[in-house]
Amino acid sequence: MTTETQNGREKELTFTALVLGVLLAVVFGAANAYLGLRVGLTVSASVPAAVISMGVLRFVLRRDSILENNMVQTIGSAGESLAAGAIFTLPALYLWAQERPSEFHAPEIVSITLIALAGGVLGVLLMVPLRRPLIVEEEKTLLYPEGRACADVLRAGEAGAKHAKTVFIGLGLAAALKFVTGWLKWIPESFLWPVKCVRGALGLDVSPALLGVGYIVGPRVASLLLGGALLGWMVLLPVIASHVPEARAMWDAGNADGVWRGYVRYVGAGAIATGGLFSLIRSMPLFVRTFRASAGKTAKSDDRGGRDLPMKSVLAGIACVVVFIWAVPAVPVGFLGAMLIALFGFFFAAVSARMVGLVGSSNNPISGMTIATLVVSALVIRATGAAGAVGMTAAIAIGSVVCIVAAIAGDTAQDLKTGRLLGATPWKQQVGEFVGVVASALVIGGVLVLLHKAWGFGSKAISAPQATLMKVIVEGIMGDGLPWDLLAAGAGLAVALMLLRVPVMPVAIGIYLPIGLNVSIFAGGMVRAYVNRLRGVEATGEDPGTLFSAGLIAGEGLCGILLAVLSLVIGAR
């Protein structure tokens, strides 16, 4: 097979790449939206998108262009990042609308789409002037691990393309099991067993996606998640159920889950918020160096990477997006909110792009950045007198746009690193990012509305843990009654874990999430540990198990969305 060319050069930004990339952006965006709303975590779509692209382009269409494949994964991976930014924040508005319908209104599809579009486009634009100082001039310092792994997979060519069927096998198996548990209900989706001797509880979720998540994050993180869950359900819950009369009554009535939701989860929320803010504080020296490195730099041509989009057009585009955010009523932030978005967006785009270069996308503290944005925004809004539903809605909208900006900037940085390693043209990749962002933004609103109508955010099926945390933070700052003692206990626990040099976030998330989810993720982590032992090495991005796990996640997510459609059409719940 020979490499195809376009006007004497290898094909890159082609119609085929655009169509396939958009399809993958929609698929992985929808699947990760479902996963994030259920578990509070999303997974990178770059490597699975690259593998599927190679399978389709090489074997189905008989095309052989590594740059065309790279363009597909560039467009496709944007869907996952945009979905992560949206689901971590926007469901808070639905939760308020359920609790206080006289004050709040659930956002409509148009509003969600415009918020997602504004954040996504702004994230790509802000990354353009940062490409040269971060990716070119700090090439030896910032390694961008996922970007390199994706480049390795694309270079593998034939071997990588053969692995595409591994992704599809995982997808099919997960979809079938989800149909059995979620629609036919031949097997329960989750189990919860009370442990009467200590007033605790243990559980298990039947979920191929959670097994895939556990395999991808590995045994260390999976063990920390389970450790947090056991701390919550077998230590904190028994103590509370034994000494708080209301909690004891719930546990005696067989409602252990109610004790966890009403008490234990707030401890986890306090620990997550504290861990995220401390992560941000620790990164401050890094942030300062980022701005010093990028100050005064412009995106010029370089010998290997070609040219970026014109800087005048980029600056004009940034100004237009900020004005759009201010002027359009569907984005409920106003002039002050637009200015806060511009400030935090620029700052955290640089932060995110550098962080993923050092520690990878999986360890990028986007939640911490969003929490910081919400805290400052809510304080500023409250100081202006805009309290109540208007102020709380504006704070979440600001946090949503900034969260999407940070997520897209990190994804764009990884993709541009992959392109630099392969000799791709930066401005073409930046155009591809815009395409992926627009396609994903047009879909994410419908996905959120669909899932909410089918199951309801905050339900057992889609608990929306990250958005619930953001809701709690805004409520606390705006003055609504919160169990500050439990949140403070979580903060104290986070500080203790840091002093013991135990990673805070996985343990805190373990406390915050249902125990059944953590047990299933732990099982996937143990499978990864066994596979690593058999292979004698740590699994990499080319590990078939990683690709199979990505298929499991995509399969359950897509089937979950299909079941949501069926439940609305047929009327079955």
pLDDT tens-digit readout, 210-253: 898 888 778 998 999 999 999 999 999 999 999 999 999 999 99
pTM for this model (two decimals): 0.78
H or E element, residue 10: strand 9-10
At which residue do the structure tokens 């929306």 appear? 464
DSSP letter assigned to residue 572: -
What does the pLDDT read at residue 483? 82
Cα separation, 172 vs 529, in Å, equals 24
**pLDDT at 298 > cutoff 50:** no
Share of the chain above pLDDT 90, in %: 35
- Beta strand pairing call for 190-195 and 200-205: antiparallel
Q: How far apart are CA 442 and CA 421, in angstroms?
A: 31
Burial class for 304, CB neighbours closer than 10 Å (0-12, 13-18, 19+): exposed
What's the angle, vertex CA 224, arms to CA 219 and CA 226, rounded to 5? Answer: 90
Task: Count each helix (H run) and each strand (E run) in the chain, helices first.
Answer: 25, 4
pLDDT by residue (tens digit) across 5-52? 554 456 888 999 999 999 999 988 888 888 888 877 676 777 777 778
Alpha carbons 310 and 517: distance in angstroms, whole number:
47
Reduced DSSP (H G I as helix, E B as strand, rest coil) percent helix, strand, coil of the chain, to 5: 75, 5, 20
**83-114 pLDDT, tens per residue?**
888 998 999 999 999 988 988 888 989 999 99
Instruction: Show me where the domains of the chain are located.
Output: 5-191+259-570
User: What are the distances in angstroms from CA 325 to CA 194, 340, 395?
Assistant: 49, 11, 14
Distance CA 219, CA 451 (A): 31
Q: Tell me phi and psi for residue 102, to 5 degrees.
A: -75, -20
